[in-house]
Amino acid sequence: MMSDKDCKDLEKTLSNIKRGPNDLEEIIQRLEFRNEKLHDFNKKITDDLIKVRKEKQALEKKVMDMLNQFRNKGEL
């Protein structure tokens, strides 16, 4: 439980804290920076994923071609 003195001290402390539009602008800039970096990272990961999927498809095709070749020769 807070006494009247504690409430007044808290009010005085809160009024001494300098807050204003600059704080919001700083927060907005920080969030925009984070957002940009996250979008860049997301694009990089997406590009890597597409590359890996293409490589996987190429390897699957190569394996299937080799398997068919062995079947056609009667070695399997």
Flag whether 34 is in a domain.
Answer: yes
Number of structural domains the chain divides into:
1
pLDDT higher than 80, residue 1:
no
How would residue 33 be classed by pLDDT, with cut points 50, 70 and 90? very high
Flag whether 42 is in a domain.
Answer: yes
Please give the C-alpha separations between residue 47 and each of 43, 44, 51, 70, in angstroms, as whole numbers.
6, 5, 6, 35
pTM of whole model > 0.85? no
Flag whether 54 is in a domain.
Answer: yes
Flag whether 45 is in a domain.
Answer: yes
Flag whether 6 is in a domain.
Answer: no
Please give the C-alpha separations between residue 10 and each of 7, 13, 15, in angstroms, as whole numbers.
5, 5, 9
Domain hosting residue 33, numbered range = 27-76
Flag whether 8 is in a domain.
Answer: no
Flag whether 51 is in a domain.
Answer: yes
Flag whether 55 is in a domain.
Answer: yes
Report the distance separating Cα 68 and Cα 43, nearest Å.
37
